[in-house]
Amino acid sequence: MNCRFCTTELNDVFIDLGNAPASNSFLAKEALNEPETFYPLKVHTCPNCFLVQVDEYKKSDAIFDSNYVYFSSYSTSWLAHARAYVEKMQERFRYTTDSLVVEIASNDGYLLQYFKERNIPVLGVEPTANTAAAAAEKGVPSVVDFFGVRLARQLAAEGKKADLLLGNNVLAHVPDIVDFVGGMKILLKEQGVITMEFPHLMQLVDNNQFDTIYHEHFSYLSFHTVKQIFEAAGLELFDVEELTTHGGSLRIYAKHKEDPTRPVGPQVAALLQKEKEKGMLEMPYYSNFQGKAFAIKKQLLQFLLDQQKAGKTVAAYGAAAKGNTLLNYCGVKNDLIGFVVDANPYKQDKYLPASHIPVVNEDQLKTAKPDFVLILPWNLKEEIMKQLAYIKDWNGQFVTAIPSLQTT
Ligand SMILES: [Zn+2]
């Protein structure tokens, strides 16, 4: 396999999580009698550009099929994040009724709805038809398609170039990052701005976030590497912010290299320096990650076995993709965790892939009163602990496995 960006041959393994099913392939009851398809989940580091990348085992149109069940609007903290972003962009760039805001991977219109509220024209690009349909109900129009050079040319020809082109948690999900960034170059107006948010590889390594690795996630990105990829497409990064979302993300700001109207801010050089000081421009930084993941596996299994022995019950909360990576890598099945609660009705009454843990609604938690609730989406820990504070009524405790096992 060669690097998706610089084509260097890849021989350095960042982490090998064994074989796992596609993390969003929730199973209906009938499907429990069928065989399941597992794909290797092995991630490499490019020794030249430091792009950390997973092999492409499954075509992305098979992963993002109509059964895809992630609706952004089910997370209240994510909605608040989207609203705050829109306020910030309006304050800084002042879009009007003559502007066009385009979001790639616009999902159910969770973010564009706030631009629409201000009468700013919006367009979503979203490959999953059922989330795009939910966006239409909010009055957010979407093109149901995958983004890249082909679609960008088509939209540009239709006069749909963007003043603001944004994408949150999509850059890491695209199989062909070079084609994707090339498409953004085409769709951006002369003085337009691109913002992208993606989990920062530095946080993944420093905080043992190996569970954010799954097949739908093709790249794990440092600022250094993203800057190189954007520059190769004729785009320049002029600002960057470090965010707390998804365990630590970056929000980058890009413009055409030819656009002189926006000077490059001091945050750009500062973050490049920070990454360099961390060692992210040298291979040893990437080579001890496997051991960190194995340490968490041992902690979680020990905890679950101890509770089993003591006659205590453990349930989980949040049937997110990262939970599936964690449970499958650790080899946890439905005999150690009885059920997982999720607020999304599209996931309820289904089963997690491989572990076959049933997904239920919150009522089940109140009836079963488990001794421990393992919070799988640890990035939403505060929100979930507040929402489920009532488990303290029966002396229930919260557990998180990442960055290390913790009970609260
Ligand atoms: Zn490379």
Domains of the chain (ranges; CATH) run 146-286 (3.40.50.150), 290-407 (3.40.50.720)
CA distance 305 to 374: 14
Separation of alpha carbons 150 and 366, rounded Å: 50
Q: What is the pLDDT of residue 387?
A: 95
pLDDT digits (tens, 9 = 90+) for 361-371: 999 999 999 99
Task: Give the strand pairing for 397-400 and 406-407.
Answer: antiparallel
Expressed in angstroms and rounded, the spacing between residue 126 Cα and the centre of ligand 1 is 28
Rounded distance from Cα 4 to ligand 1 centre (Å) = 7
For ligand 1, the distance from its centroid to the CA atom of residue 225, given in whole angstroms, is 9
| Residue in this structure with the two tokens 């421990």, named with its chain if needed | 372
Q: Which residues surround ligand 1, an ion (CB under 5 A)?
A: 3, 5-6, 8, 46, 48-49, 51
Measured CA to CA, the distance from residue 271 to residue 284 in angstroms comes to 20
93 Cα to the center of ligand 1, angstroms = 34
310 CA distance to ligand 1 middle (Å): 49
CA 216–ligand 1 middle distance (angstroms): 19
Side-chain half-sphere CA neighbours of 125 within 13 A: 25
Mean pLDDT of 270-295: 95
For residue 54, how far is its CA from the centre of ligand 1 (angstroms)? 12
- Nearest to 82, CA basis, from 145, 161, 169, 147: 169
Which region, left, alpha or beta, applies to residue 358 given φ > 0 means left and ψ of -120 to 50 means alpha? beta
Q: Which two tokens stand for residue 37?
A: 């398809």
For ligand 1, the distance from its centroid to the CA atom of residue 223, given in whole angstroms, is 14
| pLDDT-derived band at 66, boundaries 50, 70, 90 | very low
Residues 119-176 pLDDT 10s: 999 999 998 888 999 999 999 999 999 999 999 999 999 999 999 999 999 999 898 9
Amino acid letter, residue 216: E
What pLDDT does 58 receive?
A: 56
C-alpha 8 to ligand 1 mean position (Å): 5
Distance 111 CA to ligand 1 centre (A): 32
As a whole number, the mean pLDDT across the chain is: 93
Query: Ligand 1 centroid to 55 CA: how many Å?
Result: 13
CA distance 106 to 130: 12
In the reported structure, the alpha carbon of residue 360 is separated from the centroid of ligand 1 by a whole-number distance in angstroms of 42
Cα–Cα dist 21/269, whole Å: 40
Torsion sign, CA atoms 46, 166, 168, 123: negative
Spacing of C-alpha 350 from chain mean position: 22
Sign of CA dihedral 210, 212, 214, 218: negative
Q: How many CB atoms sit inside 10 A of residue 277's CB?
A: 9
> Tens digits of per-residue pLDDT, 180-233?
999 999 999 999 999 999 999 999 999 999 999 988 889 999 999 999 999 999
What are the C-alpha distances in Å from 403 to residues 144, 165, 216, 297, 398? 37, 33, 22, 11, 15
**Residue 239 main-chain phi, psi, to 5 deg:** -160, 160
The Å distance, Cα 279 to ligand 1 centre, comes to 17
Residue 403: is the preceding peptide bond cis (ω within 30°)? yes
pLDDT digits (tens, 9 = 90+) for 333-348: 999 999 999 988 889 9
Helical H runs in 209-320? 223-232, 266-278, 284-287, 289-309
- Paired tokens of 118: 């201000």
> How many A from CA of 226 to the centre of ligand 1?
11
